[in-house]
Structure 1
Amino acid sequence: MRVAPKIELTDEERAALTKLWRSGLTSVRLAQRARIILLADQGLNNKDIAAQLGIGRMQPARWRERYLQGGIKAIERDLPRGAPPVKVDVAQLVQLTTQSSPEAITHWSTRKMGTLLGVSASTVMRHWHAHGLKPHLVHSFKVSRDPQFAQKLEDIVGLYMSPPEHALVLCCDEKSQVQALDRTQPGLPLKKGRAQTMTHDYKRHGTTTLFAALNVLDGQVISQCQQRHTHVQWLKFLKQIDRETPKDKTLHLIADNYATHKHPVVQDWLAKHPRFHMHFTPTSASWLNMVERFFRDLTTERLRRGVFTSVPQLVAAIDEYVAHHNTNPKPFIWTKSARDILQKVIRANSRLSSKQNGTLH
């Protein structure tokens, strides 16, 4: 049976420890350590000291040993906690993250990087956060190669930031192949401690195409759902715009380069309606069309979690959303100048060219 080493204090040591124990300026931890040594001096074993002070049995043993080795100074210092922190070569971590990938995998995770460098995943995450690195994210992009990009950009941004008088600027596009999706089983509603649930699989009940025209001035939306999206349906939508807008207003329509928008039949109709002026976005630059922002809101707020057992039900939901939007519309405000956008595109093209030539690292 192991016996704790005895502690026999001198009168001076006993007085000093008693002063530490009773002083209101002493920290709670140091006062407790002094009390442990005083009780040990009275002949109590570690088990009895722990029971009397309401602490773990190891603490009296630890501080008894420390006092015997270094006296009062030894108990005034905290014991080192855990293993010493491992220093990270931050430059190496950043280089590996940005210029390499794990074997057979597309990107790093905190655990894989930590295993490679011999540090914890939380350490890797801390340095990634400090350097703005997010290997788990990827953003899609497409730089326009349209030879008339600058002219089309200035034209459209000019309409946004300085619209002509006595005219309406309408951003038009189709949201094609909107699916009427029904879930295979009923989901559970949101409740405290549990998110709303939906089955991962679904039943398809057909599709519809939403034609929409967003009024840049006030945010109002003119919409129409149709089964197809050929030039016939596009022309039908143009006629709806003609009916639902003031006849004394010139109309500037912003659209993408989809072939139906430039069909000869559509061109003939536009020629007979001179108040319509078409403005086409540059190739691969649909982000210039502000109606895409409305489509995103429609998708996230109404369609993504919707359950539709038929196309008519889907169309009714879209019409209801548009009607609700139009009761209190808010326009999207364009703030970026054409010059700023053009400079950014030029920089992107330059970097892409360097990457293709193998000079960007």
Structure 2
Amino acid sequence: MTFSLEQILQLFAIACEPPADYDRPLSHWTARELADEMLKQGIVESISPRHVGRLLAEADLKPHQSQYWLNPPPEPEFDEKVSDICQTYLSAMERAEQGEQTISIDEMTGIQALERKAPAQPMRPGKPERREFEYIRHGTQTLIASFNVVWV
């Protein structure tokens, strides 16, 4: 069975809306629920969930998936802090000529010290290297790095 472009676009439009807008108690659409909704609205006389899945895949639409993301709130003094840091770096050469050092320091905390329970198996033709997913914990480490901004 073939479907018109309008019918396919209606499927895509429904798939891009929350299921709750269609009185469906779902967090995400499934191909079966989308097929059922198209039948309910009279968009098509029949369509299989499998065909709905193929149409969505061709359009690279994935209504069954979600991904977390977060825009952090803007830091009020961010621009001022960036300006201070840039000014420190810009004046580093002048300060070095006066005998002052400018040191940049950063830290990375909470690095897990893990040991695999078994050694990795080397790759073989047609198979990638295999690593044991189980591990032994040896606490955490902190990495602190620093460097002199100007070498005179």
- The TM-score normalised by the length of structure 1 is 0.28
SS of 1:128 mapped into structure 2: coil
Quote the Cα distance in structure 1 between the aligned partners of 2:123 and 2:103: 38
1:156-195 equivalences under 5 Å are: 159=86, 164=90, 166=93, 172-195=105-128
Work out the percentage of aligned pairs sharing the same amino acid.
Answer: 18
- Corresponding position of 2:42: none
In terms of fraction of residues, the more helix-rich structure is: 1
Question: Does the 8 Å CA contact 1:187/1:196 hold for their aligned counterparts?
Answer: yes
Quote the Cα distance in structure 2 between the aligned partners of 1:92 and 1:120: 8
Residue 151 (structure 1) aligned with residue 80 (structure 2): yes
- Cα–Cα, structure 1 residues 245 and 99, in superposed 2: closer, same or farther, change >3 Å? same
Question: Does the 8 Å CA contact 1:174/1:212 hold for their aligned counterparts?
Answer: yes
Moved segments of 4+, more than 6 Å = 167-170
Question: Does the 8 Å CA contact 1:114/1:124 hold for their aligned counterparts?
Answer: no
- Corresponding position of 1:126: 58
- Corresponding position of 1:142: 71
- The TM-score normalised by the length of structure 2 is 0.57
Question: Does the 8 Å CA contact 2:111/2:142 hold for their aligned counterparts?
Answer: yes
SS of 2:59 mapped into structure 1: helix
Question: Does the 8 Å CA contact 1:128/1:134 hold for their aligned counterparts?
Answer: no
Quote the Cα distance in structure 2 between the aligned partners of 1:134 and 1:211: 43
Identify which of structures 1 and 2 has the higher relative contact order when contacts are C-alpha pairs closer than 8 Å and 6+ apart. 2
Quote the Cα distance in structure 1 between the aligned partners of 2:54 and 2:102: 51
Count how many residue pairs are aligned between Structure 1 and Structure 2.
Answer: 125
Quote the Cα distance in structure 2 between the aligned partners of 1:136 and 1:170: 46
Quote the Cα distance in structure 2 between the aligned partners of 1:177 and 1:187: 25
- Cα–Cα, structure 1 residues 144 and 115, in superposed 2: closer, same or farther, change >3 Å? closer
Quote the Cα distance in structure 1 between the aligned partners of 2:79 and 2:128: 47
**1:171, CA displacement in angstroms?**
5.7
1:174-253 equivalences under 5 Å are: 174-213=107-146, 222=147, 246=151
Question: Does the 8 Å CA contact 2:117/2:132 hold for their aligned counterparts?
Answer: yes
In terms of fraction of residues, the more strand-rich structure is: 2
Quote the Cα distance in structure 2 between the aligned partners of 1:86 and 1:169: 68
1:209-237 per-position Cα deviation (integer Å, ceiling 9, x unaligned): 00124xxxxxxxx4xxxxxxxxxxxxxxx
- Cα–Cα, structure 1 residues 170 and 97, in superposed 2: closer, same or farther, change >3 Å? farther
Quote the Cα distance in structure 1 between the aligned partners of 2:14 and 2:79: 37
SS of 2:137 mapped into structure 1: strand
Quote the Cα distance in structure 2 between the aligned partners of 1:147 and 1:200: 42
**1:204, CA displacement in angstroms?**
0.8
**1:198, CA displacement in angstroms?**
1.7
**1:143, CA displacement in angstroms?**
2.1
Quote the Cα distance in structure 2 between the aligned partners of 1:173 and 1:192: 43
**1:175, CA displacement in angstroms?**
1.2
Quote the Cα distance in structure 1 between the aligned partners of 2:25 and 2:102: 52
**1:172, CA displacement in angstroms?**
3.7
SS of 2:136 mapped into structure 1: strand
- Corresponding position of 2:12: 93
**1:151, CA displacement in angstroms?**
2.8
Question: Does the 8 Å CA contact 1:97/1:135 hold for their aligned counterparts?
Answer: no
- RMSD of equivalent CA atoms: 3.7
Quote the Cα distance in structure 2 between the aligned partners of 1:113 and 1:137: 15
- Corresponding position of 1:113: 31
